Structure 1
Amino acid sequence: MSNCGYHGRLDQAVFIWVGNSVTQCPGQCAWPFHQPFYGPQTKPLGSPNGDVGVDGMIVNIASIMVGAVTNPFGNGYYQGSAGAPMEAASACTGMYGKGAYPGYPGDLLVDLSTGGSYNALGVNGRKHLLPAIFDPNTKECSTVV
């Protein structure tokens, strides 16, 4: 497919789909844990849970869920023109921490025992990297850290 995931609807039921980040466009869908296909060729970050594919999927699931919640039917909240809309997370692609810019995910926390980069703690202390989302009040991308 041509994307890492998407959301849509069947009648009034909203759904999301996310592919395996390592087997499906790893340089795009598993970045920043995998070498990018294009742009600055910086060293990939350490995967917070030791699995580049799963950690890449978590980033994509979070992004797609934000879109499904804020724009479930594809005609609501988005930034930009209606012809090329960017949803709350896609408007902040590649941004995970303060100071992010194209090719640099931003200042992140690093697990000293594994070298994995993260910005959020989950259940049982699991570490995750979650994308920034666009804040319509500040008109800026907002990150967890």
Structure 2
Amino acid sequence: MSDKNGSSSAAKPDPAALRAEIAQTRADLGETVQALAAKADVKARAKDQVEQTKQKVKAQASEAVNNAKGAAVAATEKVRAAAGQARGAVGGAVESATEDDRVREVKTRVRENQVPVAAVFAGVCALVGIILILRGRRR
């Protein structure tokens, strides 16, 4: 590396190469500082977490609504099929029932089975609870 009088045995590095290396080191250091600052920003991380949770709840609510609609359609089809079978078995008695009566029956069954509505309500309550908890931690 160096001999006894302090002179370097290797050729001195090119000043332009040193400047380029220093510039690269500064850029790397700047990226590292930005990454550390992002990890230290608890407020921004909490906001990101809340946003992710909101998106999950929205997706779950949308899925629950779609499932409820699908269940309502399936229930309608089952009611129609059962009505058709009953019409065949009973004869003219079921034929006297109007379409409005069957629609009312389906609506009543959907109103009695409130599980999809309760699931959406529970998801919204969970979202509000998470937001309140995260806001309380900031203070």
Q: Give the TM bin, normalised by the shorter chain.
A: under 0.3
Greater gyration radius: 2
> Whose RCO is larger (CA < 8 A, sep 6+)?
2
Structure with a larger share of its residues in strand: 1
Structure with a larger share of its residues in helix: 2
Normalising by the residue count of structure 2, what TM-score does the alignment of the two structures yield?
A: 0.24
